Amino acid sequence: MILSLRAVLSLFFLASASAAVAAPRVVIVSGQPTSSLVRRLEAELSALNWTPSATRLAEPRPDVIGLHAIMTGHKATAAIALLASADGATDVWILDEVGMVVSRERFDGRAAEDVLVLRTVERLRASRIAGSIRRARKNTRLASRARKPKPPPGPPPPQRHDIELPDAAPGRAGVGVSRALHVSGGLAVGWSPGGVSATGHARLGVSWSLLDWLATDLIVLAPFVPARASGAGDKADVYLAMAALGARAMGGTHRSWVRPSLAAGLGGLLVHVRGMETTDKDGERGEDTVGMALPFVEGAGAFRLSRSLHLRIACLLGATFRRLKLQYVNRSMDHLLVSGSVGIELEVP
C-alpha cells in the first residue's frame, strides 16, 4: 500500500512538472468577453502560468456539447463558462479536458468580483489536481496489469443485436424551428373616413409559428361600440366586423425583449347599418347588412413581460375594393379601414 501511494505521488509530481513546462490553455466563455470580471480572471490565471483566452457566447444558455466544441476550437484543456441567469445571478461552470462539467457554482448579484475570481480559480486548480491523481492511479493500475500473465483467451461473448441510441440533446431537434401558439386579446379602435365616427372593437388573434421568423395568423374584430353617422336630419349606427387570415414575418427570436412583426393577408368585412329617420314623427327604422373582401397589412410589436406573456401593440390598415354608401344618411364610407389595438399575448410552447 505504501509503495503504490509513493508511486501515485511520484506520477503526480511528474505530471505537475510537465504541466509547468507547457502552460495549459483555458478558455473563458461569457456573454461579455471584455468585462472587468473576465479581465481579472485572465490576470489571475496568467499569474498561475496558465494561457487564458476569452470568447463570446453564441447563445445565453449553451449545452455541454457546445462548450466542448468551443474548447476544441481554442485547443484548450479546460474551460470556464460564465452564464447569466434571469434573476441576476451568475452560474460558473468548469469543464475538464474531456469536456465534462466538474464544478457548478452560483453567485448572486451581490457577490464581489474578488470572491468570484478566487473561488473559480481555486476550483479550477482543485479539478486539475483531482484529474492528475485519477490519471496517476489509472496508469499505476495499467502498469500492474501489464506485469500479470494474461489468461488464455476464452470463447467470444455473445453478440447483441439491439442497438441502444443515446437520448437526443434537449432543444436541438431542428435548427430554426419554433413551434408555438400565440393567443392574443385586447381592445381596438377602428375608423373609416367618410363622415362616420370611430368604433370600438374587441380584438382576438391566434398565431401559429412555423419557423422562428414566420407564422400564420387569424385575426377577428368584433364590434361593441358602433360608429355613428348623420346627415339631413337622419342618423345611423354602423357596426364593422372583420375576420382575416394572413402570414406574419417576425424579427428577433422568441427570447427577445421586443419583437416587431409585419403581417399581410385577406379577410372579410361585414358591415351592419341600422338607420333611423328622425325628421318623421314615427321615426321609421331600417337595417341592412353587406359583406365585402378586405386585404390588409398589420404592423405590431410584442414587449416581453415574462417567459410566456407579452404586451402587444398593433396597427391594422385594410382597403375594400368598393366604397360603401349609407343610404339612410346619404353618405359614403371610404375604401380604408384603420384600427389600432392594445392587448395581452400568451405564448403556449
Query: Are 57 and 134 found together in one domain?
Result: yes
Q: Which string of b and e fits 245-268 if b means at least 16 CB within 10 Å?
A: ebebebeeebeeeebebebebebe
pLDDT tens by residue, 104-135: 888 887 778 888 888 888 888 888 787 777 77
pLDDT grade for 137, boundaries at 50, 70 and 90: confident
Bigger pLDDT: 123 vs 99: 123
Return all residues near 76 (Cβ < 8 A) that are at least 6 apart.
Answer: 25, 26, 27, 53
pLDDT of residue 277: 55
CA separation for the pair 102, 223 (Å, rounded)? 61
48: domain range? 2-143
Q: Looking at 94, 124, 143, which one is the last position of a domain?
A: 143
Residue that is written with C-alpha cell 473559480 in the block: 120
Total domains in the fold of the chain: 2
Bigger pLDDT: 2 vs 330: 330
Q: Please name which of 224, 179, 189 lies closest in space to residue 343, comparing C-alpha atoms.
A: 189
Query: Are 237 and 108 found together in one domain?
Result: no
Query: Are 194 and 341 found together in one domain?
Result: yes
Query: Are 136 and 205 found together in one domain?
Result: no
pLDDT of 342 above 90: yes
Return all residues near 45 (Cβ < 8 A) that are at least 6 apart.
Answer: 26, 52, 121, 124
pLDDT of 235 above 90: no
Q: What's the grid cell of residue 51?
A: 494561457
- 148 occurs within a structural domain: no
pLDDT tens by residue, 155-171: 877 776 655 545 544 44
Query: Are 251 and 343 found together in one domain?
Result: yes
Query: Are 106 and 245 found together in one domain?
Result: no
Give the mean pLDDT of the chain: 78
- 174 occurs within a structural domain: no
Query: Are 191 and 130 found together in one domain?
Result: no
CA separation for the pair 143, 138 (Å, rounded)? 9
Q: What's the grid cell of residue 247?
A: 402570414
- 9 occurs within a structural domain: yes
Query: Are 190 and 122 found together in one domain?
Result: no
- 170 occurs within a structural domain: no
**Residue 17: CATH number of its domain:** 3.40.50
Q: What's the grid cell of residue 54?
A: 476569452
pLDDT of residue 1: 43
Per-residue pLDDT, averaged over 53-70, amounts to 79
- 126 occurs within a structural domain: yes
